[in-house]
Amino acid sequence: MAIQDSLQQIRTQWMERISRELARGEGVRVGFVEQLERFYDLIEQTVITGDTAWLDPILYDWGHSPTETNLEEGDYDVSFVINRMASLTIEVARENLSEKDALELLAAVVPIFTHSLSVVVRYEMETRVAHISSELNKTQEKLQELDHNKSSFISVAAHELKTPLTLIEGYTTMMVDMMEQADQSPINSLLKGVNTGILRLRQIIDDMIDVSLIDNHLLTLNFQPVWISHLLNLLSNELKKAVSGRKQTLVINQFDGSDMMIYGDSERLYQALNNVAANAIKYTPDGGTITINGRMLPGFIEITITDTGIGISLEHQATIFEKFGQLGRTDLHSSGKTKFKGGGPGLGLPITRGIIEAHGGTIWVESEGYDEVKLKGSTFHILFPTRTEATDPLITKFFGRFEQTKKEIETDTSDKENPPTNNPSA
């Protein structure tokens, strides 16, 4: 018997057997039978023409049919259905055809099932990959939204806290003044304590606001001429008390470029250097040394702040520049600003990085690891671009002229000190 005739002969049994085994529920069966009819017709066409391209449209539909729910529940598997169809076809052929006809039929249709299976598996895989990447995108969007909410919360909380704090600050300052005049010394010293607490609270709130500004790309820089040596002198004065209180030594070296006029936001840069240097004091035991050095590189000034402190583990080095990198360590919180290991809210380095990056620079740390006995120390590197123009051309023009006049005066004075000789070769 011809293969097409064999196919016709087993069609009804094939249809019944497969729809009974594979369709779940009456409702599903109606649609499923229609699909089976279409598939069977196409198998016949393929057998007649020897061209598997006939099957492509239905295989495309099946391979791309899994819905979101099917994929999430993992219960839809067209490749399983095709596999099962192939086995049932063998059974139906054996039961309804002579051995010879059954063998001939199977020799023709088994390659068709194999082809169908490979095509459907490929389509299914594509659908699954698309589904997974869309899920990943959704998760990514949720995470971004969460991060945004977090930073909005910080911003709102910080601004809300700032108002009552300003009130308390104003009234305590007035009380301190009044007590000083009335010479109420015990109350006066208590009030000073309250004032110190308020100052610390203000710093924390300011840090929270800075972090949310940086997070939302709202940090505005006020570009002015800056001399690194000038910032380092200010820093040395500010940290003097803390350094001597901890019996430490602060060494600030002059270096190439430290006297060069560059453009940057001096207040913000000072804040960044102060954060790193205050940390160096904080994480170095009494008697240690903090050294600030630097060098000129093409287009950049590199400033290094090295301490002989407890160092930072490799794993920790990756997180300290992220906001709240220290949140887990509640045991360390709320100690003094320069007290040994007195951890804060973990905002200092993220702010520092935000400030440096907003200037087009970069910051990183080097440390051989954390060891409170061997004190391996840490070196923070700050790479700062030697910008020679401000964002506002008027400022550049003004200060450019100022620099030029300064240079002219300097040359003038040195000329007077070393008058030129008449010797043209000199």
**Crossing angle of helices 266-282 and 228-245, rounded to 10°:** 30
Minimum CB separation of residue 245 from ligand ADP in Å reads 17
Cα(41)–Cα(25) distance, integer angstroms: 24
Output 176 or 320, the one with its CB closest to ligand ADP: 320
Task: List contacts with ligand ADP (CB under 6 A).
Answer: 275, 279-280, 283, 307, 309-310, 312, 320, 325-326, 343-349, 378
Output 182 or 199, the one with its CB closest to ligand ADP: 199
Q: From the CB of residue 53, how many other CB atoms can be counted at a distance below 10 Å?
A: 9
Beta bridge partners of 365: 380
* Distance, C-alpha 198 to centroid of its chain: 33
Minimum CB separation of residue 229 from ligand ADP in Å reads 22
Is the distance from CB of 333 to CB of 344 less than 8 angstroms? yes
Beta bridge partners of 251: 291
CA distances to 32, 47, 78 from 121, rounded to whole Å, are 19, 22, 8
Output 345 or 400, the one with its CB closest to ligand ADP: 345
Output 40 or 283, the one with its CB closest to ligand ADP: 283
Output 151 or 378, the one with its CB closest to ligand ADP: 378
Output 81 or 355, the one with its CB closest to ligand ADP: 355
Is the distance from CB of 359 to CB of 263 less than 8 angstroms? no
Output 89 or 378, the one with its CB closest to ligand ADP: 378
Helix (H, G, I), strand (E, B) or coil at 379: strand
Take residue 244 and report the two structure tokens written for it. Answer: 């001597």
Output 333 or 397, the one with its CB closest to ligand ADP: 333
CA-based diameter of the chain, in Å?
A: 125
Minimum CB separation of residue 337 from ligand ADP in Å reads 9
Cα(358)–Cα(418) distance, integer angstroms: 45
Minimum CB separation of residue 343 from ligand ADP in Å reads 4
Minimum CB separation of residue 283 from ligand ADP in Å reads 3
Minimum CB separation of residue 241 from ligand ADP in Å reads 19
> In the Cβ-directed half-sphere of 121, how many Cα atoms lie within 13 Å?
10
Is the distance from CB of 322 to CB of 378 less than 8 angstroms? no
Is the distance from CB of 361 to CB of 385 less than 8 angstroms? yes
Output 191 or 347, the one with its CB closest to ligand ADP: 347
The beta strand positions in 183-248, using DSSP E, are 224-226
Output 166 or 249, the one with its CB closest to ligand ADP: 249
Cα(63)–Cα(71) distance, integer angstroms: 12
For residue 109, with 0-12 CB atoms within 10 Å meaning exposed, 13-18 middle and 19 or more buried, which class applies? buried
Minimum CB separation of residue 354 from ligand ADP in Å reads 11
b/e map of 172-201 (b: 16 or more CB within 10 Å)?
A: beebbeebeeeeeeeebeebeeebeebeee
The DSSP secondary structure of 103-115, one letter per residue, reads HHHHHHHHHHHHH
Output 111 or 336, the one with its CB closest to ligand ADP: 336
